[in-house]
Chains A and B, each alone.
Chain A
């Protein structure tokens, strides 16, 4: 099992550009989520999904969109990148939700100039 995979590992964008961060898992997990990690602020939940076709907002959803067309994939879209979105982004999945072990991807380091 590859577990949770994320691409790309690094990305530099200019303000206003859009891009999609990819996340995939091969563990047949229903729950998937996106976090951003900023110094001194820990991990903050952006969006999450409890199954294919079902998504919901987390703590900091503004400027991001998600979709969940399959169990395996949960892409995160930045619609118009801003410097405030410079961060490290982590995707996570779990079998049965928030009380279950979360499996994290390796992260994507995004810089917005």
Chain B
């Protein structure tokens, strides 16, 4: 069975500080990994996906198959980054998208 673990329920950093939201997964095949974000009073939306290898709003995430991780990073956090972040894994064999439990990020002024 596939599983996604986000070990931090809550994470607070100061504005301008680096931030890293951890995501570990368990899956034996070749996964597709995503980060979704839910800002206050907004819909859940895709932030980035590993196959795109792009930077969105200054965030990047690298798939590390050896450590089975897909941590989300940003060098300088902004107050508008405060949101709930979900890591998600897709696999064709399981025929579903599995979400982690989420990390609530608060960027303090």
Contact = CB atoms under 8 A, between A and B. Distances in A.
Interface stretch (A22-30, A73-81, A97-105): A97-105
Contact of B92 (A33, A56, A98, A105): A98
Contact of A98 (B45, B46, B97): B97
Interface stretch (B12-20, B54-62, B64-72, B99-107): B99-107
Chain B interface size range: 20 to 34
B97 A102 contact: yes
Interface in B22-78: 32, 36, 43-46, 49
Contact of B101 (A41, A59, A101, A104): A41
Interface string B72-108: 0000000000000010001110011111111000000
Interface stretch (A13-21, A42-50, A64-72): A42-50
A104 B38 CA distance: 10
Interface string A28-44: 00000101000011111
A11 to B, nearest CB: 18
Interface residues of A, number: 22
Given A90-B44, A102-B46, A42 B86 contact: yes
12 contacts: A35-B99, A41-B101, A43-B86, A45-B98, A48-B96, A56-B95, A59-B96, A90-B44, A98-B32, A98-B91, A99-B92, A101-B46
Interface of A: 33, 35, 40-45, 48, 56, 58-59, 90, 92, 98-99, 101-102, 104-107
Interface of B: 4, 6, 9, 32, 36, 43-46, 49, 86, 90-92, 95-102
Given A42-B4, A101-B49, 18 more contacts: A40-B9, A41-B101, A42-B86, A42-B99, A42-B100, A42-B101, A45-B98, A58-B96, A59-B96, A98-B32, A98-B90, A98-B91, A98-B92, A99-B90, A102-B46, A104-B43, A104-B45, A105-B43
